[in-house]
C-alpha cells in the first residue's frame, strides 16, 4: 500500500463561478434525519482557492493533504496543513485553498440552515493571493 496516496479521490471539477483555479469535489456525506451537515473532500491544485464566502451555521475543515491557507476578511492568512482542524464561525467572510507552491485537500463539514450552507462572494484577487503567498 502506498502510504502517500490521498485519503479520498480527487473527484469532479468544481465550478469556476465559485473557485479560482482547479478545484475538485468528492461528496462523502449528505444531510439526513440525524445530521444537518454535508461532508465533502475538496482538492485544490496549486494556486486554486475558493471565492470569499460565508456559512450561515459555520464550517469545519479537516486538512488531509498538503498545505494551503485559510483567511478571515481583514485578518492575516493562516497556513493550514495536513492534520490541521479549522473551525470557521457562522457568517464570517473567509476563503480557503492551496498555496501557489503546494496542493491541498481538506474534508469540509458544512452545516445547513434550512436549505442554505454557503453564500458565495467575490473571487480572491490575484493581489490578495500574492500578498498571502509572500508570508
Ligand atoms: Mn468555507
pLDDT tens digits, residue range 23-66?
999 999 999 999 999 999 999 999 999 999 999 999 999 999 99
Q: Are strands 59-72 and 53-54 parallel, antiparallel or unpaired?
A: unpaired
pLDDT of residue 4: 78
pLDDT of residue 79: 98
pLDDT of residue 20: 97
Domain boundaries, the chain: 12-133
pLDDT of residue 135: 63
CA gap 56, 42 in Å, rounded: 20
User: Which residues are paired to 38 by β-bridges?
Assistant: 110
Q: Kindly tell me if the per-residue pLDDT of 2 is higher than 80.
A: no
Domain 12-133 -> CATH class:
mainly beta
pLDDT of residue 48: 98
Which SS3 state, helix, strand or coil, does residue 97 take? strand
Cα-to-centroid distance, 125 and ligand 1 (Å) = 17
Name every residue whose Cβ is closer than 8 Å to that of residue 126 and which is 6 or more positions away in sequence.
none
The DSSP element (H or E) to which 128 belongs, if any, is helix 126-133
The model scores a pTM over 0.85: yes
- C-alpha distances out from residue 6 to 3, 100, 125, Å: 8, 20, 29
Cα-to-centroid distance, 3 and ligand 1 (Å) = 28
Name the grid cell of 82: 495536513
pLDDT tens digit sequence for 76-100: 999 999 999 999 999 999 999 999 9
Cα-to-centroid distance, 95 and ligand 1 (Å) = 6
Q: Kindly tell me if the per-residue pLDDT of 1 is higher than 90.
A: no
Name every residue whose Cβ is closer than 8 Å to that of residue 80 and which is 6 or more positions away in sequence.
61, 63, 67, 68, 69, 70, 86, 96, 104, 106
Cα-to-centroid distance, 135 and ligand 1 (Å) = 21
Amino acid at each position: 500500500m502506498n502510504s502517500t496516496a490521498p485519503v479520498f479521490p480527487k473527484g469532479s471539477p468544481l465550478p469556476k463561478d465559485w473557485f479560482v483555479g482547479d478545484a475538485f469535489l468528492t461528496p462523502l456525506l449528505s444531510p439526513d434525519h440525524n445530521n444537518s451537515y454535508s461532508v465533502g473532500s475538496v482538492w485544490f491544485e496549486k494556486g486554486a482557492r475558493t471565492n470569499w464566502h460565508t456559512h450561515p451555521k459555520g464550517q469545519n475543515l479537516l486538512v488531509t493533504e498538503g498545505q494551503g491557507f485559510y483567511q478571515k476578511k481583514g485578518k492575516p492568512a493562516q497556513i493550514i496543513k495536513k492534520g490541521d482542524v479549522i473551525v470557521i464561525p457562522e457568517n464570517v467572510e473567509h476563503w480557503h485553498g492551496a498555496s501557489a507552491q503546494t496542493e491541498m485537500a481538506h474534508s469540509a463539514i458544512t452545516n445547513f440552515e434550512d436549505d442554505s450552507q454557503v453564500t458565495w462572494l467575490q473571487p480572491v484577487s490575484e493581489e490578495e493571493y500574492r500578498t498571502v503567498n509572500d508570508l
